[in-house]
Structure formats: structure tokens, C-alpha cells
Chain A
Amino acid sequence: MLFNTPQFFLFLAVTIALFYVSPKPLRRWILLIASYFFYMSWNWRFAPLLLSLTAIDYGAAIWMERVTSPRGRKVFLTLSLAANLGFLGFFKYYNFLAGMLAEALGRDAHAFALAIVLPLGISFHTFQSISYVVDVYRGEQKAIRNPIDYALFIAFFPQLVAGPIVRAREFFADYYQWAPPVSEERLRGVLWILLGLAKKMVLADQFAQIADSYFQNLAVHPGSPAAWSGVGAFAMQIFFDFSGYTDMAIGMALLLGFHFPTNFRRPYLAFSITDFWHRWHISLSRWLRDYLYIPLGGNRHGSLMTYRNLMLTMLLGGLWHGASWNFVIWGGYHGALLGLERVFGRKKFQNPPHWLLYPFRALITFALVCVGWVFFRAATLHDSVYVIRQMLSWHGKAGLIPVWLACLLALSLVISLFEERTEWIERLAHGPAWAYVAAVVMLLFSVELLGVTEKAVPFVYFQF
């Protein structure tokens, strides 16, 4: 059940209706049943896995609180982490590691391979679980006593499959002091859902067609303009796809009285790679910082260790996206760029430049990000190298992006620039009714006329 299907909207409408007509004590059950229904609509066989992980982390956190000795606490933390990372490792990385082992032993690359289906959203709910048990271990979060509450935190359907990665204290702050959303929040919720849907169906899915046609037929599209437009199309696809999904998740949560953190802040307006990571997949960056970079030592042990920690964090962040060397290289590439920016002066890349320089810096940053996306999207390392060579070849004539889509992109850039300054989308629900109505009508028209509606295209991040 994809977010961009009528079935999902029916499911959402029924869930919201049942949630609000039910007596308060039943509401958590409604959300939990709906969330498991949503999860099982993909593949019911993985429900026991989700339940087991939930049970392990729920138990581990309670035992961590009960046991007073630091060693005992560590044992439960280790058990929980081993279970989470064990499942994640098996489902996501077994074949990758088995392939490497087979090659090292001179066997066929698939000699030890297993037919593994990746459970939906495992990377996201695993990270969410880890953040919870680590927070309990650190004493920053009380263990949740009610198993239903904890199960809902892990399985909550708006963010179950692709985030944002919500922390327990954020979720339970809303949950335990739940109040029905006020009128502005409801209107904002609807607007976020429509905005996300438009981003996904109008922009991401249109750009996906260009990116797919380029990356699936590299030899057919030689030359620099084709390469830049193919990679640029993927850059747009992944941004509008993922941020569209997140907008929808935020909107749905708002309608149910929950407040999810911002996950994207116009990342392609970033003036440096450092700035980019403050704007792109913010909940993952925050997780990596708090549960990997800082525990590794962060920047507390001198420059060399800082660079090492930065690189390790980004390499693992890359690997989190998928079991392939391409993702590792993508992470390493960003780690190297972040390291370079530190070398050349941290402040220079943290504070916005003069407004006259801003467009150039933003353009350079975007180009560097695009080079990274090549590794993210290309099927093999060989393909990645080929595409980068084409990008730097400076020959060829035709780009792949049609004029109308380029115009649409220019319009969305203007909207983003305006949003960057005024945050008008957030304000729309507080403004005059006509402005809100006009925005909704525009979004609906754009989905109707420009959206890819022939088939529901899965979200890119669902595969992670």
C-alpha cells in the first residue's frame, strides 16, 4: 500500500475516522492495529519479526532500568543492539558479505547467496529502536511500561517505512500529552499531505522517467549534457520523492495529533556540503551524530580523530542506505567533502556567504552533490565511473529534461527561495482562507494534470 494510491487514502480516511470516533482508551489500539495492517499489507510474513524486535527492545529497556549495576545495564544494551543489528545485518548485508567471501575464496559470487526479501522499513525502525534503548541506557529516556505504547512508537504507520526517524522522547511527549490538533494544524496537515503528493507524483515521478531512461541506457545517451541532465534528474527525483514522502508523513501525523520533526529544509539551496547535511534527511543526520559520531569521540580528541570519526560516520551512513560498494563510496565521498570543508575553515562553510556569492556557492554545492548521486544511482561502480567521465567530457549536445519540466523546476525553485525566506507554507494555514484554498486547488490541479497517475511508482527510500 503506497502513500500515492487511492487504497492508502481510503485506509488513512478510515483510520482517522475510527481514531476520532473511538473512546480515548481505544485509540492507541486503533493506531496500532492500523499500523500493523499497513505493515502486513506489504508482506504479512514479517509481522513476527517486527513484533520480536519490539518485544526484545521493550524488555531490554525495562530490564536496563531495573538492573542497577552498570555492567548489567550494558549486557541488556548489548543484547538489544545485537538483536537489532543482527536482524538488520542478516536481511540487508548477508548477501553483500557472502558475495565478498565467495569472491575471496575464488568461488562464484552467488555461491553463498540466499533469496532474502528485505523487510519493509527495517533500516528505519531499527534505528528508531536503537535510539530508544540507547537513550534509556544513558538515562535520557524512561523505559516505556505499556507494551502497546512502545509497539505503536515502533510501528506508527506514517513513519514506519521511511522515517522521519523519530526519537522516543519526541513521540511520547505528543503521545502522553495528546491533544486533538487545532484547526490550523489540521489545515497544515492536509496541506503537507497534498504538497507531498504533488512533489512525489508531479516532480519525482516525472524526473524518475528521465533518470531511469538515462541510467538504464547509458550507452544511448553519451555526452556531458545528457549525463548532467540524467544525474540532475535523479537528484530531483530522490529529493522530491523522499521529501514528498516525509511531507505526507508529517501531514498524516499532524492530523492524528503528532508532531514529527522536519526532515528536509530545501537541501539544494545549501551553500556547502556541511550546510547540505543540515538540510538533507535531517533525522538521519541527527541520529548519526548522536548515536555514532559523538560516541566515536566526535571532535573531542583532536583533528585527526575528528576526521576519522567524520569519515567513519559517513561511510556507515552510506552503508546504511544499501549493501553495495557504491553506497560506501557515496558515504566516503561526502565524508571526504565534509573533511575538506573542515580543513579549509569550518565557519566558512557553516555561515552563509555574502548574498552575491550565494548562488555560486549553491551551484557548486549542487554540482558536488550530483556527483555523489552518481554512485547512489548507478547500478555498478563501472557505470558510476562511466557517468562521471561523461559529465566531465564537455562534449555532446542534447540534454534530457523537456522544457516544460525545466520550467516546472524553475517554478519550484522560486517557491523554495520564497519558502526559505518566509516559510510561507507553514504560515498558509494561519493566513486568509482564499490563499489556502488557492494553494490546495493548485496542488490538486498539478497532481491531476502533471502527475504520473498511470501507475503508482514506489518511493525510492522504501527499498532502504
Chain B
Amino acid sequence: MRTVPVLLASVVAFAAMEGAVFHTGLYPWILNVDASTGDLEAILRNERERPKIGPQILGIGDSRMLLMPRISNQHTPETGYTFGTIAIAGTTPRAWYYMLRDADPTARLYRAIVIAVESYDDADTWSNNNDNESDLRYDIAHLRWSDLWEFSGSYDDPALQWKAARGIVFKGLVYKRDFADLLLHPVDRFRLAKLAHRDSFAWQYGYTGPPDTLADFHVDWQARTITAPPDADQRLVEGLKFRLLFRLPPETGDQSRYLKYWLDKIYQRYRESPTRLIFLRLPRGGFVRPDQPRYNPHSSVRELAAQPNVTLIGEHFFDSLEKPELFRDELHLNGPGMVSFSLMITQEASRILGPPR
């Protein structure tokens, strides 16, 4: 045997098999829908397979983008628009860019994309989103070789850059945790995958949200205390304390840099298309802390708003939802809150777009 041809054949065989399993839809088919990567796959698959009759509006954002298309679409006869959503917990604009690329390959499928952001001021967060490792796990099925440089280079931490680069080449490295879980429960996994392929649309679109509220909670801004009902979940109380009473993150400009890059990338994708980008600022919570982040006239969304096919829904448009009885925790709307939120988006997006042509 000659060394070079045999070693070359080994490398080619490995690359071919790796490519066939992980760089196609083969492995994503059986991903665990109870984990982030599988959940995202199910949501994107639902969106790809959703029948799209008439003009479409797509919502995107993190777990707080609680648009209920079921509610919005009850009004389709009046608005003329059908709503869908690919919002998923824990995602940020970097993940959204690749999700949109997959959901809307021609960038002409939707009349509008409604993008939910936390702040119009690019307020910094406690973690640097540039180094959000979970984006790699979320997007792995949609990353291509051509994304190698840009995606991995978008991390600040060299260790994460390296991890992302090798993950894009050898996707199995990123699917590893999922694969270990598959080995542990192979039969259950196949059963769940089958079930998810059949029912995940109903799971996603039938979600009604919990009825829990924060109505029995009180915040004393002077004393900096939160009064909770005696049976309140301690984690919820801690979450509220952190969100409302802990100091604001320092202004580093990291978030602005991050958002400017990735929101602009999303904008560039739709620049030449008939799709309008509509940004909304999420309702801030059942209680709104008095010390809000500083107004930033040059924030990513405010600068994008100057572009012809970008619209910002009024910053205080959802203020009426910022009531304890409409929130189930420090961040998320409850069932009734979700309904109101969905109706408000439906009406405002339809108003911005005007009647379908």
C-alpha cells in the first residue's frame, strides 16, 4: 500500500461521511427538541413547512418576543396579513441573521420582519453578546463553510473563535452533547423526533402561556425592597431582585458594537428586497425600574431607522403592557399579556404596512 493515497482516501472518506451526516439535514432530523439546537431546528422547520397564503409577516426575537400567530391570524380577514414566528429563547441578533437566512433564502418571502429588541439605546448587558457561545449551538445546522471566517471571527475571545471555527468544519464537535444524549436514550430519541416532526407546529403555535402574574408583588423603590407573597418561588424573587434592584451593567459599548454589526447584516440582506424591517422595543416588565439606561441617539436601531425600509415602532408603544398582572416573571408576559402583545403587534404592523397590495 502506498502511504499518500491511503491517507488521502481516509481523509476523503471521513470528510464525505462527516459531510453526509452533519452538513446535511440527516442529523438535524433527530436532534433533541428539548434542547436549544433541536428546538431551533423544529421552529425553523415549522416555518419552512407552514403554508404561506397571502402576504406574510414574520416575528423574530428571544423568549420575550411572545407573538402568538394564532391570535394575530384571527384578524387576517381584516388586516390581510398572516403572521408566523421564529422567536426562540436565548437567541440574539447573530443567531437571528442565520435563522433568517434559512427561513427566507431569497429575502423576499415576507412583507415584513418584526424584530423585537430589548432596548432602543443599545443598553449594555451583563454578558458580552459577542462571546455568547450558545449562538454556535443554535446556528450550527445553518452555518456553512463560507461562514467560517465571519462567524468565528465575530467572537472576541480567541478560544471561542477557535471553537467556532473547528465547529463549523467538524459539526459533530458541536453536536457532541446531543449525540451523547442520543446514545443514552436512542429509542426515546427516535420516538421524540418522530413526534416533533408531526406535532411541533401544534406545540409552538398552540402555546397559550401561563396564567401566573406578579399582581401580588410590590416594589418599594425608595427602600429598594420587593415584597413577595409567602408562597412565591424563591428563584422568581431572586430574578426580580436582580432585574429591578441590582445596579445596571456598566456602559462598555460592547452591546452597541454587537448590535450595529449584526442588525446591519440583517438590514443588508433585506436592503434591496420588498421586505420591511419593523423593530419593536419589548415591554420592559411588570415593574419598570426608575433608572433606565441613558438615551443613545446613535444606537443601532435608531441609525437603521434612517433607512427607507426600516421602521421603529414607538419606543413606548407597549408601555401599557408593563403591569404586574400581565407578567409571569421578571421578563416574560403571561398568557393574557401575550394575547394583548400579539394584538398590538398585529394592529401596528398592519398599520405600518398598510393594506396588502
Chain A positions within 8 Å of B, measured between CB atoms, are 6, 183-184, 186-187, 190, 402-404, 407, 429-430, 433, 436-438, 440-441, 444-445, 448-450, 453
Contact present for A441 and B3 (CB under 8 Å): no
Contact partner, A437, options B2, B6, B172, B176, Cβ 8 Å = B6
Contact partner, A404, options B3, B14, B17, B184, Cβ 8 Å = B184
Interface residues of B in 1-48 (CB under 8 A from A): 1-3, 5-7, 9-10, 13-14, 17-18
Residues of A within 8 A of B2 (CB): 183
Contact present for A187 and B13 (CB under 8 Å): no
29 A-B pairs (CB sep. < 8 Å): A183-B1, A183-B2, A184-B1, A186-B3, A187-B1, A187-B3, A187-B7, A190-B7, A403-B184, A407-B183, A433-B6, A433-B9, A437-B6, A437-B9, A438-B13, A440-B7, A440-B14, A441-B10, A441-B14, A441-B17, A444-B14, A445-B14, A445-B17, A445-B172, A448-B18, A448-B170, A449-B176, A450-B180, A453-B176
In the complex, given contacts A403-B184, A440-B10, A440-B13, what are 16 additional A-B residue pairs having Cβ atoms less than 8 angstroms apart? A187-B7, A190-B7, A402-B184, A404-B183, A407-B183, A430-B1, A433-B5, A436-B1, A436-B6, A437-B6, A437-B13, A438-B13, A440-B7, A441-B10, A445-B17, A448-B173
Contact present for A187 and B6 (CB under 8 Å): yes
A187 to B10 Cα, complex, angstroms? 11
Contact partner, A441, options B13, B176, B179, B184, Cβ 8 Å = B13
Contact present for B10 and A449 (CB under 8 Å): no
A426 to B239 Cα, complex, angstroms? 60
Residues A449 and B175 in contact in the complex (CB < 8 Å), given A402-B184, A404-B183, A433-B1:
yes
A433 to B162 Cα, complex, angstroms? 33
Chain B positions within 8 Å of A, measured between CB atoms, are 1-3, 5-7, 9-10, 13-14, 17-18, 162, 170, 172-173, 175-176, 179-180, 183-184
Residues of B within 8 A of A429 (CB): 1
A173 to B2 Cα, complex, angstroms? 26
Residues of B within 8 A of A436 (CB): 1, 6, 10
A444 to B9 Cα, complex, angstroms? 13
Contact present for B172 and A449 (CB under 8 Å): yes
A449 to B7 Cα, complex, angstroms? 21
Q: Smallest CB-CB separation from B8: which chain A residue? A: A437
Residues of A within 8 A of B14 (CB): 440-441, 444-445
A433 to B12 Cα, complex, angstroms? 13
A450 to B183 Cα, complex, angstroms? 10
Residues of A within 8 A of B7 (CB): 187, 190, 440
Among B1, B18, B175, chain A packs the most CB atoms within 10 A around the CB of B1
Q: Smallest CB-CB separation from A436: which chain B residue? A: B6
CB of B176, distance to nearest CB on chain A (Å): 6
Residues of B within 8 A of A437 (CB): 6, 9-10, 13
A325 to B184 Cα, complex, angstroms? 40
Contact present for A404 and B180 (CB under 8 Å): yes
CB of B301, distance to nearest CB on chain A (Å): 36
Q: Smallest CB-CB separation from B159: which chain A residue? A: A455
Residues of A within 8 A of B17 (CB): 441, 445
CB of A425, distance to nearest CB on chain B (Å): 15
Residues of B within 8 A of A448 (CB): 18, 170, 172-173, 176
- The 7 tightest CB contacts between A and B, nearest first, are A404-B183, A440-B10, A448-B172, A186-B3, A437-B10, A441-B14, A444-B14
A316 to B336 Cα, complex, angstroms? 75
CB of A441, distance to nearest CB on chain B (Å): 5
Among B2, B6, B13, B17, chain A packs the most CB atoms within 10 A around the CB of B6
A312 to B14 Cα, complex, angstroms? 51
A402 to B183 Cα, complex, angstroms? 10
CB of B10, distance to nearest CB on chain A (Å): 4
Residues of A within 8 A of B3 (CB): 183, 186-187
A453 to B184 Cα, complex, angstroms? 19
Residues of A within 8 A of B6 (CB): 187, 433, 436-437
CB of A195, distance to nearest CB on chain B (Å): 13
